[in-house]
Amino acid sequence: MTLTVTELLASTRPAVVQALVDATFDATETFRSQPSTVLDIMRTESAELLATNLGELDDNRLEDIYHVLASELADSPIPTPEGIGNARRIRLGTAPELDDYNPVIMWDLSFARRTLARRASD
């Protein structure tokens, strides 16, 4: 998962960006620790999107998808070197003009560091 905001938004509305980052950490924790909640969301709020991309899904298939996604989800929503490389390789397949672009320069992890520090002190 990658959150993208403009530098202007990050500099003029840091509280909004921080709230977004905090919510992403909360969502990651919920996804990993509350499978029944996530499966309920998948059955209701996400059903149409899932059906569009994967066809009609029964409960067993939804649970399989959940377990695959949960196994791939990092403990915290901070990009890993492997994840960056994988996302870059996937994107280069459709946008070869990005071959010389270094995506790391666009990331500001200061918001994530604040969230991690706050969670460690709680």
pLDDT at 1 over 70: no
> Is position 87 within any domain?
yes
Host domain of residue 64: 13-121
pLDDT at 63 over 80: yes
> Is position 3 within any domain?
no
> Is position 2 within any domain?
no
Least confident of 3-7, 37-41, 92-96, 115-119: 3-7
The predicted model gives 22-30 an average pLDDT of: 94
pLDDT at 54 over 90: no
Counted domains in the chain? 1
> Is position 38 within any domain?
yes
Q: Spell out the SS3 assignment of the chain.
A: CCCCCCHHHHHHCHHHHHHHHHHHHHHHHHHHHCHHHHHHHHHCCCHHHHHHHHCCCCHHHHHHHHHHHHHHCCCCCCCCHHHHHHHHHHHHCCCHHHCCCCHHHHCCCHHHHHHHHHHHHC
> Is position 27 within any domain?
yes
Does this model's pTM top 0.85?
no
The predicted model gives 65-80 an average pLDDT of: 87
